[in-house]
Structure 1
Amino acid sequence: MRAVAVASIVVAAVIVRRRRQRVGDARPVSQRSRRARNLELAGLGVNLGGAYASAEARKMFASAERRIEIDDALKLRTAEQVAARLGNMKGALMKVGQMASYLDDGLPEPVRQALAELQADAPPMSAQLAADVVERELGGPPDKVFLEWDPVPIASASIGQVHRAVVTDPASGVERAVAVKVQYPGVDKAIESDLRNTELLGMLMRQSFSGLDPAELSEEIRQRLIEEVDYRIEAVNQQHFADYYRRHPFISVPDVLPALSTRRVLTSELVAGHTWRELLAWDAAERDLAAECLFRFVFRSLYRMRAFNGDPHPGNYLFHGDGHVTFLDFGLVKYFTDDETATFAAMVQAAAVDHDTAKFRRLVERSGLLPPGMPVSTEDVGEYFSQFYEPVREDRTMTWTKEYASSIVRHTFDRSSPIAQYATVPRAFVFIQRINLGLYALLGDLGATGNYRQIAEELWPFVNGAPSTAMGQREAEWLARR
């Protein structure tokens, strides 16, 4: 898993650098033939296989320290080869790289620099190309469809860019500013084609988890990314969250304008706010409130909406002070069944509340995270998975740090753990892990302080605890009015 993260980050950085050399690109995303991509992947597989065999041979007579150096060098060479061969995947690998962004701490400096580039805005497409997309999708040029249209995007990312525009509200007749997300032409087809090649992802992941069957995991990632390039799905997701959190005291989600939204254009209300970088400069009290809002949003959405917004990226939030946060970008959303959310809750209860490792192991095996009867002790199972629940296992005030968040990541991907030999990741858990580790990284960046066990008890359906903070009291009053 760590190997695929390193590879994804470096590949995506190459893509960002190449695109930055073409600011205002006037061309659609290029697509080579399926046969050409398959030939490149076949050649890449041969090269990676040879490098792996060579590294294993050198490790046979090396010291423990030298074996680690050989492994790290192999991962970096693997990333470089993947970058060289798959640099044309653009949106797909940028998204996968961002999904691996919580692994930045402890990585080699070149990879850290690559990650920093991933988190910045990508260069925009040309004004004419964006206008062409709007005309094809909405039936007229932007200056005819909208009262005002700014041809210079206010944000750009892996698969599209955002423009400011003005429309007349059909209900009130009042002019209102909107955000119009325009998809890069051709990126949807490129992603759909290239993500069929999941064998490479599986090969890289087996370097860290020898017992992992990557088929379900690869398919889950592929399906979510394909959904993300259909803005009609994102519009439904975003409006679902907007409706649920309507009039919430500190959680906001912009409403969608469905009449101006299509497969490749998404129009929603424009919200002004402060960025993540600006938030980091605020005082500790404000950062703590923002962190509490992020935590409440993630776990209330999971347990009450049975939905996960699986992209905890710093660019997807706007901050307004006093804990008020606007949440953006709902392209990567996972919905869960009642049985799946019941399983998540039961695992939390066994691990964090009852501290019952035997029961927890049974739940882990039943969920598919670990095959039954593996030759590992119940204590090892409890210790390995307990890291995820550590912040809520005890009723105490804690301060998140970058080092603490990174230690959870390192523990998760520690190949020396006996659990890593047998563990797998069922589809229901793919983005649970992503959001947990991503959220922990954000809280670590903020240096957030709070009693997260008490906050969690308000959100756990098997506890329904009383409000433990001022924000909790405001949320309880909102719930009572719903």
Structure 2
Amino acid sequence: MKPPLNSSRIRRLSKLVNMGSKVAGRTIAEKALATFNAHEPGVPIDRSRQITTINDVAKELGSMRGVMTKFGQMLSYVSTPIPLELRSPFSSLQDSVPPMSKELVDEIIRQELGDGPDGVFAIWDPEPIAAASIGQVHRAVTSDGAAVAVKIQYPGIKNTITADLSNLRLIAKGLKLGYPSMDTDSMIDEIADRILEELDYKAEATNQRKFANFFEGHPTIVIPRVIADYSTEKLLTTELGEGVSFSKFQEYDQEAKDLASETIFRFVFRSLYQLRSFNGDPHPGNYLFGEDGRVTFLDFGLTKHFGKQEIEIFEHLIIAMVIDKDPVAFSASIKSAGLLSESCDLDVEQIYDHFVPFYESVMDNNKFAFNEDYTSRLFAHTFNQKAPIAKYLNVSPSFVVIQRINLGLYSILAALSAEMNFRGIAGEIWPFTKTPPSTDMGAREVNWLKNLDEGTAKQ
């Protein structure tokens, strides 16, 4: 149920309506209110344990929203061999969170923007509509009639997260026992760097602008614009996304799920190969689903940007594995990429066969079905310490965030029961193939790509 608008909000809204600014036959305020009211709150609110002070952050979030909780969140939606009854307790971490008190929220906004929310915004919803990994999200309408989402960072969360990073070192020690060739220090440093970047909303705003500018005009990929005047290091305001939640979207038919899955797949790999960036947080709460395959992508805090040489490494691996199916070339490329110790004395066929499951969805020009059986097998295969190759494996810094494709993205696609010719779609995207459109969505992308190329040429 949507929270009702109080009389003061209605009065402020009526002032906006009286401005008379027309957009496609409707006032800005009417459009904003329609978007505002269409966005159902997605967080169960428990005011009995609300956060009122920084000390509460350390108490509540130290146990719920630290580094280890990110791992728990991942377990809740990643298809793994871990029994469902053991995964289920983590599912509440996806969206259940003790909210900040209204007084604390008012204080934070006053500190960041110079006035309380009722003074800054024409309409302000005091109840959060979503839980971010390090804060909570409220909906609002700005003074010029824009419906927005306002992400507010928990005060003191930086200290809590920084202290919790020590837990990563414990994980690293365990990994080292099973994978002696793994450079766990470099891997943990990379993870820590990405997590710490999430604490800076200015950096996230920069990431989101980059993605929004790149995908502007795309037929199915939607990135909300950042509203700079209402954003700071601890406050991020963007356009309010439209669409239904992941859990609600599960009720839709398979055709709708397949279209959305194709959009998500295109978003990830267009970002990687054209933008040289990867939004490394494929969490169910970071998608809103619309009509005809439209997906709105949220939360760009955990983003990895790659250099040209790093992308070329990814390309060489795909060419050797998928295009040429050449064990000798793949073995050389995987060692050069830092994913396998040079001391590995296994024959090239064994090395090649070990990595085939990671490329299975695009190995052949046929339909491939993502399901829990596949992702569970992939998870077990990834962490099989008894495999002959295990003692030679490594994860170089460039590949740390990319592993979220195997563990996160593929689980999202499995949850949507996605089945299509992913090789055909990938062929459109890979810079070394660029095949003609293989789907209706691919055909719809053509004009967007043309405009993208023309815009790039003008720069």
Shorter-chain TM-score tier: 0.7 to 0.9
The answer to whether the aligner puts 1:120 opposite 2:95 as a matched pair is yes
Match of 2:440 in 1: 470
Q: CA deviation at 1:109?
A: 4.5
Cα distance between partner residues in 2 of 1:29 and 1:457: 52
Which of 408, 411, 418 matches 1:448?
Answer: 418
Cα distance between partner residues in 1 of 2:62 and 2:330: 43
Q: CA deviation at 1:197?
A: 5.7
Q: CA deviation at 1:31?
A: 7.9
Cα distance between partner residues in 1 of 2:97 and 2:220: 30
Task: Output aligned runs, 1:334-349, within 5 Å.
Answer: 334-349=304-319
Which of 159, 172, 194 matches 2:164?
Answer: 194
Task: Output aligned runs, 1:151-170, within 5 Å.
Answer: 151-169=126-144
Cα distance between partner residues in 2 of 1:121 and 1:106: 24
One-letter identity of the residue aligned with 2:243: G
TM-score (normalizing by structure 2): 0.85
The answer to whether the aligner puts 1:362 opposite 2:388 as a matched pair is no
One-letter identity of the residue aligned with 1:285: E
State the secondary structure of the residue aligned to 2:389: helix
Q: CA deviation at 1:188?
A: 1.3
State the secondary structure of the residue aligned to 1:464: coil
Cα distance between partner residues in 1 of 2:409 and 2:52: 36
Residues 94 and 158 in structure 1, CA contact (< 8 A), matched pair in contact too? no
Q: CA deviation at 1:133?
A: 1.0
Q: CA deviation at 1:436?
A: 3.0
Moved more, 188-197 or 335-344: 188-197
State the secondary structure of the residue aligned to 1:140: coil
State the secondary structure of the residue aligned to 2:180: coil
The answer to whether the aligner puts 1:296 opposite 2:266 as a matched pair is yes
Match of 1:78 in 2: none
**Against the structure 1 CA distance between its residues 459 and 253, is the aligned structure 2 distance closer, same or farther, given a 3 Å change threshold?**
same
Gaps of 5+ in 2: 1-44, 453-459
Cα distance between partner residues in 1 of 2:310 and 2:235: 33
Residues 29 and 187 in structure 1, CA contact (< 8 A), matched pair in contact too? no
One-letter identity of the residue aligned with 1:24: Q
Q: Give CA deviations for 1:208-236 in whole Å, capped at 9, x if unaligned.
A: 42332210110011000000011111111
Moved more, 210-219 or 446-455: 210-219
Which of 52, 56, 60 matches 1:26?
Answer: 52
Match of 2:378 in 1: 408
One-letter identity of the residue aligned with 1:398: F
Instruction: Count the aligned residue pairs.
Output: 407
One-letter identity of the residue aligned with 1:429: F
Q: CA deviation at 1:91?
A: 3.0
Q: Give CA deviations for 1:306-346 in whole Å, capped at 9, x if unaligned.
A: 00000000110000021110000000000000000011011
Identity %: 44
Cα distance between partner residues in 2 of 1:475 and 1:227: 32
Cα distance between partner residues in 2 of 1:280 and 1:473: 26
Moved more, 142-151 or 462-471: 142-151
State the secondary structure of the residue aligned to 1:206: helix
Cα distance between partner residues in 1 of 2:374 and 2:79: 13
Q: CA deviation at 1:178?
A: 0.7
Cα distance between partner residues in 1 of 2:264 and 2:402: 15
Q: CA deviation at 1:97?
A: 3.0
Cα distance between partner residues in 2 of 1:31 and 1:207: 34
Cα distance between partner residues in 2 of 1:161 and 1:406: 31
Residues 250 and 323 in structure 1, CA contact (< 8 A), matched pair in contact too? yes
Residues 76 and 88 in structure 2, CA contact (< 8 A), matched pair in contact too? no
One-letter identity of the residue aligned with 1:90: R
Match of 1:179 in 2: 149
TM-score (normalizing by structure 1): 0.81
How well do the aligned residues superpose, as a CA RMSD in angstroms? 2.0
Cα distance between partner residues in 2 of 1:447 and 1:115: 22
**Against the structure 1 CA distance between its residues 100 and 363, is the aligned structure 2 distance closer, same or farther, given a 3 Å change threshold?**
farther
